[in-house]
Amino acid sequence: MSFGKTPSAYKTALERVRLIIDEWDPYALLENGAPADEYESLAMSVVGKSSRAFSAEDVVQAVSSIFSGAFEPEHFQVEQCREVGLKVFAALQDEGFVQ
């Protein structure tokens, strides 16, 4: 798949990342009745920061950084974000959003 960051690719990447983050739901916010778009802005930040990623580790770092800034940093260290970050990287790579 060719590498590209068209508006369509961004929209698809955002949808995929949002689904991954919603499934992760680190504080069970969605599970406990938070609005369906609870993580929308964080997913947008992850996609935006990941658009400059060169590796899976870059995406893991992005997830850690973004969630640490939004919530409690001690709960979103790199190792705690590794699994979801790798899923995000794989999804973005499948969509041709990252190389």
What local confidence, expressed as pLDDT, does residue 4 receive?
A: 56
- Whether 34 maps to a domain, the answer reads yes
Amino acid at 32: N
Instruction: Give the model's pLDDT for residue 98.
Output: 85
In a domain, 99, yes or no: no
pLDDT surpasses 50 at 3: no
The pTM is what? 0.91
72 within a domain of the structure (yes/no): yes
Look at residue 31 and tell me if it is in a domain.
yes
Query: Domain for residue 89, yes or no?
Result: yes
Q: Domain containing 12 — which CATH number? A: 1.10.340
2 belongs to a structural domain:
no
Q: How many domains does the chain have?
A: 1
Domain that holds residue 73: 7-94
In a domain, 1, yes or no: no
Share of the chain above pLDDT 90, in %: 82
> Is 90 contained in some domain?
yes
